[in-house]
Structure 1
């Protein structure tokens, strides 16, 4: 509400600022949603229409065969299950480690705490392409010395994803744990709980929205990752992000089927976000205020 003592010029400036802000937000929204629209739009076009470079944004025809042919050309179910297994296990392991690590950073004061925390978040600044070759050589060495196969296996790619997900997850959960008053844990310990019992019975339930937001972030990163999966997750563990590339062959590309497969792969992620929207939004907002 605009105060009555404001002058007409101030009211005009305020309205212009609101219109400008809404215009900027609308532009950003269109910029973010247009690739999704273009993907769905092309999924109902033929390969020749897509390759023809028609710039039309409205299609009169409705070529639904792409959603039928994509299952026959590529084994999408197997690739989707691989992505689901890899992302789910990575999320579970990363959240378990991050809950303990974030709680330790939030509640304990130990020497080098600031530097260790800065090092954790600093790992996110390193491009993945710089670590790809050393990680691959490390896995080869482990196989030659110990005999454990990590390349093109579930355990190998899950280890890689967990390594990159844990530092950021710890940093996120640390902020959520900071919003929980330590007096609640002290009251639980007075009633006879140990430190771990207070953590699992008091702190973690209160931090559930933050854990959900962090888990959603880790799951999406592991589900959509391409760089490491293209080198270390081939064969029987090929994820969906790599399996979709099989629509691109040497002599021709099946763009329509690829867009249809990409659309189908997006639907489960959207459903998960819709189902867990409330705890995710609460978690993203609760972590910014310290009690």
Structure 2
């Protein structure tokens, strides 16, 4: 066995060597005394109780979803009789919804309107946030407070003003807005852009300025800094702002039912019209309702699963300095 080297025997004056920990392998992290007690003290609930609460919460969320899925494979009579497990399995509900509900047209309109709202909102928000974070000018704080204050206004209060404004544009400007996709797009962009801008403001505050300064030394312009430095580093924040701009356009029923006609109605409105039209029958088409609900929810679930890591990074950005 060779002895310690000269570098290992060297003792820095004024610095006490760390006490040796016997029984621990070389290079292994040694748990500090009291760290385990600290974790036990800070834990509010015991482990078994936390597991039980998590299981209960998962059951509350998953049981309705499982029931909807099983009901979509069951007959209308079986669902109406209260069967949880289908007595007769059928895939006809997933075939019939494309003709009875008119789901294809609704999904197409929802994808176009909500998708364009998400893309445009994210694109505008990163440019606006870059100006608000990196530049000092008069009225900057007022704009930031206004963006935050706009989130406190309920959307239901703006239904009538927006409808009057858009309907009067056809009279005074000869521009038809009500019943068009782009009219609904402007409506959703009005609500999503302030929130997306505030998300990007919070995200850009956490990016180091040294990268931008280095790019400017190399001769990059403001547009070059935005497109070559800020944009590649801001994907998590952009994904968060785009998804949260996509959800109102996908789930909204109030504005979509007022601003659209049968040719431009979204999937949410199509589901509402279908459910209300089948209430007068002897047995409502429960199976098709459940199947249509799952089909409409599938795109949002897939988006969350695909962009999960970006969502976690974007939502927690700016929380720790």
- TM-score, reference length from structure 1: 0.88
Correspondence 1:184-195 to 2 at 5 A: 184-195=211-222
- For these two proteins, the number of residue pairs brought into alignment is 287
* Among candidates 293, 299, 302, match of residue 271 of structure 1: 302
Helix, strand or coil for the counterpart of 2:263? helix
* 2:284 is aligned with 1:281: no
Q: Does the 8 Å contact 1:94/1:169 carry over to 2?
A: yes
Identify the range of structure 1 (265-274 vs 227-236) with the bigger mean alpha-carbon deviation. 265-274
Q: Deviations over 1:93-122 (max 9, x none)?
A: 111221112222222233343332222122
Q: Deviations over 1:190-212 (max 9, x none)?
A: 11111111011101110111111
Helix, strand or coil for the counterpart of 2:254? coil
Tell me the distance in 2 between the aligned counterparts of 1:214 and 1:24. 31
Tell me the distance in 2 between the aligned counterparts of 1:260 and 1:246. 15
* Among candidates 208, 211, 235, match of residue 235 of structure 2: 208
Q: Deviations over 1:62-87 (max 9, x none)?
A: 23221122123122112111111001
* 2:124 is aligned with 1:97: yes
Q: Deviations over 1:241-284 (max 9, x none)?
A: 11122322152232210110111222222223222222222222
Q: Deviations over 1:38-83 (max 9, x none)?
A: 322321222223333x2x5444432322112212312211211111
Q: Deviations over 1:164-200 (max 9, x none)?
A: 0001001111111111111111111111111111011
In structure 2, runs of 5+ residues without a counterpart are 1-29
Q: Does the 8 Å contact 1:247/1:254 carry over to 2?
A: no
* 2:156 is aligned with 1:156: no
Tell me the distance in 2 between the aligned counterparts of 1:7 and 1:218. 43
Aligned to 2:192: 165
* Among candidates 162, 166, 182, match of residue 135 of structure 1: 162
Tell me the distance in 2 between the aligned counterparts of 1:107 and 1:12. 43
Correspondence 1:43-122 to 2 at 5 A: 43-52=72-81, 54=82, 57-122=84-149
Tell me the distance in 1 between the aligned counterparts of 2:34 and 2:161. 66
Tell me the distance in 2 between the aligned counterparts of 1:80 and 1:120. 31
* Among candidates 28, 36, 48, match of residue 19 of structure 1: 48
Larger Rg: 2
Using the TM superposition, give the Cα deviation of residue 11 of structure 1 relative to its aligned residue in structure 2, in angstroms.
Answer: 5.4
Using the TM superposition, give the Cα deviation of residue 4 of structure 1 relative to its aligned residue in structure 2, in angstroms.
Answer: 6.9
Q: Does the 8 Å contact 2:71/2:84 carry over to 1?
A: no
Aligned-residue Cα RMSD (Å) equals 2.6
Q: Does the 8 Å contact 1:88/1:219 carry over to 2?
A: yes
From the superposition, tell whether residues 6 and 60 of structure 1 become closer, same or farther in structure 2 (CA, over 3 Å): farther
Aligned to 1:181: 208
Tell me the distance in 2 between the aligned counterparts of 1:36 and 1:161. 28
Tell me the distance in 1 between the aligned counterparts of 2:224 and 2:34. 57
From the superposition, tell whether residues 32 and 127 of structure 1 become closer, same or farther in structure 2 (CA, over 3 Å): farther
